[in-house]
Amino acid sequence: MAKKRSAKRPAAPRASRRSGYRVTLRTPGGARLTLALHGNEFHHETVRWNIWLVSTRLRNDIPKLQRRKEARNVLEDVARAGGVSKRLLDGFRRQAAKEGVVQVETDWEGFTGPETDRLFPWEETLALACRETSDARPATRLVVVRWLKCSARRAPPATGPAKILVTVDAAESPFGTDAEYKVVRRPLATAQAGAAPLPLHVVDSPEAIRRSLRPRGEEPPAIVHWMLRSVDKGIVFDAGDRWLSFDAAPPPGVQLPGALASDRDVAEALAAHHPALVALSSCYTGRKLAPLTVAAGADLVIGFHQEVDDSSLPAFFASFYAALLGGSSPMKSLREAIDFNRDQPDHEGLGAITLWSARDLLAAAPPAPAPSQSLLPTTKTAVPPAHEGLVFDCEPEPALNYSILHCSRGGLFRRFVVTALDRPPSDPLDVIARLDTGTGSPSECRFSIPAPARANARIDLASLVALPLGGQLLRERRETLKGAVTVTVGSAGRTLFQQTWTINLLPCDEWQDDHYGRHFLPSFVLPRDPAVRRVIGRAQGFLRAIIDDPQGSFKGYPFAAPADPQLKAIWYALVDGFRIDYIRSPPAYLKQAQRLRTPEEVLRGRRGNCIELALLLASCWEHINFHTVLFLTSGHAFCGLWVSADAREQFFASLRDPKVTDQIQGRHTSLGGTVVNRSAATPWMLTEPIQHDAILRAVENGSLLPVEATSMTGRKSLRQAIDCAKEKLRNAIDEVDGEYLDAMLDVRTARELGVTPLPILTDSPVA
C-alpha cells in the first residue's frame, strides 16, 4: 500500500545522506540541483511513483493537472530527502521549464552501488513537474537526458556502416520487425548513400553479437539498432542478472529462450567496438541495459523506461534517425522525435524515453555538421530517389470469436498499422476487410481514412475494422469453420496492399476463458432469450402466492433482502417447474474455451452445468431489472445480485479510492519491471485481492447476495443456495483447499460499457 505523504516530512539525517550517493540535475543555462540521496528513502519513492505512473497510463479519468500535481509532490519529496529546499526546487523547475532541457548526472562509482537512480523515471517526472499549471499544450516537451560519468579512458566512437540486430527466432515469427526494419533502414541507408541494404543479423548470444558487429575485414558500425523478438519485448532482469520474459516467470528449472546471458555480458558485447549510438528497441532497456552499455564503451544509448507498444517504435526511430543523421545534435534529435511521436495515435505507447550518454551533452557543442560529416559517412554512390510508399504491418487473429467481435470494435486483427516512408500518398486510403466462410455472403467492412500526414507517421487501423455481424451463419451455433480474411488497401484507384489469411471461425456460443475473451462472459447473460420469458411467466403464479396478491407482478427494485419474493418465485419456478439436472459442458476443441448452452437449450434439454445455470439465473434476474454479478473461481462459477442500485454504486465508489488503486498497481510492480494491470481496461471484471476483500465485506453486510445456481439441480431451497454460495465465496477468497476466487464480473457495468447480450440463433441445440 502506498505510504501516506505528510505535510512536513523531516529531512534525512546527515549521516544517512553521506551514506548515499549524489544525483545532479542541470540545465543548459546553469541551473543546478545536487541531491544527496539515501538509498532506502529514495527507493520507496521510486517504487511508489512507478506504480502511479503505470496506473494512470491505463486510465482516462486522471486529469492532466492532477498528474502534474502528483509529479511535483514526488519531486518535492525526493528533493527533501536529498537535502534540497522547496524554494530551490521551485526555482529550478521554472528555469527548466523555460529552457526545455534537463540533464541528470550520476557518477559511475555511485551508480554501481544503489540501483534506484536508474529505476527512477526522471524523464516523465521532470516533464510533468516542470510544466506550468495551465492545461494548454506546450509547443515542445521537456527533454531529459542522463550523463553517466565514467572515469575510464574511452576509445573514439566507431564510424562504420550501421547494422540492425534482432534476437533469435525473430525473423521466423512476424511480430512487427518488418515494419520497424523498413522504416528505420531508410534514413540509415540514405546517410550511407544507399550503396547496399543494411543487414539484419539474427543473434542468440553475446558471442553472436560480437561476431555480427565485428566481421573480418569490415569497419564496425557506428550505430547499432537492436530489435528484440515479441516474447522478449518486455524483458526484465532477475536478481541473478538473467534475462526473463516479462509475460510470465519460467517454471522451476526451465530456462526461457530469452534467457541468453547476463545484462552485463550483453552490454559489453554491444559496446565492444565503441559505437557512437546503440538503440535498444525494447521495453525496460533504459533502466539497466542502457547505462551498462554506456559504461562498457558506447557513446550514446537510447532505451525505454517502461512497457513499449511495438507499433509506436518505427515512427519514433525513423524521426530520430532522420534528424540525427541530418546533422542535428542528439539532444535536438531526441526532441524532434518526441514531438513527432506526440502527433501519432497512442502517443503514450512509448512511455518514458531514456537517453544515456558517456559525455556531457550540455557542453558547448561545435557547429552542427553537414550530413556528410554526421555519424555515418556517405559514399559516392548515388542516393536512390525517394519514392511514395507505405509499410503495412498486418496480422489477423488466428481464430475469430463472435462474442469478442460483437462486444468490441476490433477483435479481428492482432495488428494493423500503416507507417509512411518518405512521401505518403496525398489521397485517402480505401480499406476493405472481408471475411469469407465459403457459404452465404461474405461479411465486409469498407472505410476511407486520410493517409499518414507526413513521412514516418503512422496510423492504427485495427480498432477501425468492425465487421457487420447480422448474417445468419455467424449467429448460428455450429462447429468451427475455416474461413479467409482478405485485406485490401488502395489509394486513388491503385492497390497498395492486399493479403489473405486462413482463419478459424469459432461457434457463436463458444466462450474463450483466456486473458481477453473471458471479460466478455456477460454477453452470454441473455435476458430476452425465449426461455427466460417462459420462466418469468411460470414464476408469476409463484410470486402471487408468496405475496398473497392476485395482481402481483415483477417490479425489480426495491429488494426485500435476504430472500426477496421475486427471487423466491423465480427460484421455485426453476426447481419445481423445470426440474433441471446437472451435466458437463459440450466439447470444445480449443484450449481455454467452453461452449455454453443458452437458457433455451438448458430448459429444452433440462440440463446444464454450473456456469450455464448461473447464466440462466442471471438472465432471469436481469429480465426484471435486477443488477447481477457472476463469480468465477478456479474450478467453479455461480451468480449473485445487488440488493439495490445504491449498494452497487457505493461499492464501486469505494474501489475508486486512490488508496485502493495504488495498492492494486502495487501488486503489479517490481523494481525489475512494471507489470501492467490490464484489468483496468475492463472495470466490470474485478480480479485483485483488495477488490475481493471488498466483495466479501459487501456479502457480509448484506448489500451483495451470492446464489449457488447448481443447488437447483439438488432441489434445494433458496436459503440453502445462498448459504452455500457464501461459504464457497469465503473459501475461495481465503484459498481453502486450493480453491481461489478468480474474478467477479459486474453485468451492469459491462452493459454500460457496450458488452451487450449476444443475438444467438438457437434452432439447433447442442448436446
Q: Are 207 and 335 members of one domain? A: yes
How many C-beta atoms lie closer than 10 Å to residue 103's C-beta?
Answer: 23
- pLDDT for position 494: 84
Rounded distance, CA 32 to CA 9, Å?
A: 23
Name the average pLDDT for the chain.
76
Q: Tell me: the pLDDT tens digits for 427-482?
A: 888 999 888 876 667 778 888 988 887 777 788 888 888 877 655 555 565 667 77
408 shares a domain with 474: yes
Work out the angle at residue 315's Cα, subtended by the Cα atoms of residues 312 and 319, and round it to the nearest 5 degrees: 140
Residue after which a domain boundary falls, among 149, 182, 217: 149
- Phi/psi for 59 (5° steps) reads -115, 140
Judge whether residue 152 has pLDDT over 90. no
Q: Point out the domain boundary residue: 149, 179, 207.
A: 149
Could you tell me if residue 767 is inside a domain?
no
85-99, 312-326, 664-678: the lowest-pLDDT one: 664-678
Average pLDDT over residues 569-587: 87
**Residue 136: exposure state from Cβ atoms within 10 A (0-12, 13-18, ≥19):** exposed
The SS3 assignment for 524 reads: helix
Q: What is the pLDDT of residue 149?
A: 86
Among candidate residues 485, 508, 531, the one where a domain is terminated: 508
Q: Compute the average pLDDT of residues 544-562.
A: 85
Residue 323 lies in a domain: yes
Instruction: Report the C-alpha gap between 558 and 556 in whole angstroms.
Output: 6
Top-ranked range on mean pLDDT: pick from 235-239, 278-282, 393-397, 422-426? 278-282
Q: What is the dihedral of CA 314, 316, 319, 323, to 10 degrees?
A: -130
Say if residues 458 and 406 touch (Cβ distance below 8 Å): no
As for how many domains the chain has, the answer is: 4
- Distance (Å) of CA 43 to CA 13, 23, 261, 413, 668: 16, 14, 27, 41, 17
**Cβ(676)–Cβ(668) below 8 Å:** yes
Residues 220 and 114 in one domain: no
- Residue 763: inside a domain: no
Residue 294 is part of a domain; what is its CATH number? 3.40.50
Q: Which are the contacts of 544, defined by CB distance < 8 A and separation ≥ 6?
A: 550, 551, 552
730 and 585 in a common domain: yes
The per-residue pLDDT for range 664-715, each reduced to its tens digit, is 554 444 433 444 444 445 789 988 888 888 999 999 999 999 999 999 999 9
225 domain residue, yes or no? yes
Q: Quick one: 128 and 168 in the same domain?
A: no
Task: Please report, to the nearest 10 degrees, the dihedral formed by the alpha carbons of residues 404, 754, 641, 681 taken in order.
Answer: 70
CB distance 667 to 729 below 8 Å: no
Same domain flag for 275 and 129: no
Q: Give the residue-averaged pLDDT of 98-112.
A: 79
- Quote the percentage of the chain above a pLDDT of 70: 73
Locate cell 509499410: which residue?
391
pLDDT at residue number 642: 95
Q: Answer for the pair 741, 633: CB distance below 8 angstroms, yes or no.
A: yes
C-alpha cell at 693: 476483500
Domain membership of residue 413 (yes or no) is yes
Neighbours of 702 (CB within 10 A): 11
Confidence of residue 259 (pLDDT cuts 50, 70, 90): very low
Answer whether residue 707 is part of any domain.
yes
Task: Please tell me whether residue 61 adopts helix, strand or coil conformation.
Answer: coil
Whether residues 544 and 684 fall in one domain: yes
What CATH code is carried by the domain that includes residue 481? 2.60.40.10
List the beta bridge partners of residue 581: 607
Same domain, yes or no, for 325 and 447? Answer: no
Higher pLDDT, 425 or 339: 339
Query: Is the pTM here over 0.75, yes or no?
Result: no
**CA separation for the pair 53, 352 (Å, rounded):** 10
Q: Please list the residues that pair with 484 across neighbouring strands.
A: 436, 502
- For residues 480 and 524, state if they share a domain: no
Q: Give the model's confidence band at 234: pLDDT under 50 very low, under 70 low, under 90 confident, else very high.
A: very low
Instruction: Considering only residues 18 and 608, tell me which one the structure prediction assigns the higher pLDDT.
Output: 608
Q: Are residues 88 and 53 in the same domain?
A: yes
> CB–CB of 298/279 below 8 Å?
no
Cβ count within 10 A of residue 275: 28
Please check whether residues 184 and 106 belong to one and the same domain.
no
| Residue 442, Cβ density class (10 Å: 0-12 exposed, 13-18 middle, ≥19 buried) | middle
φ and ψ of 434, to 5 deg: -130, 130
Same domain? For 186 and 297 the reply is yes
Q: Cα 72 from chain centroid?
A: 26
**More confident position, 107 or 647:** 647
Three cell numbers written together for 16? 544517512
At 372, is the pLDDT very low, low, confident or very high (cuts 50, 70, 90)?
A: very low
Whether residue 230 is contained in a domain is answered as: yes
Instruction: Determine, yes or no, domain membership for 177.
Output: yes
Name the residue range of residue 323's domain: 163-364
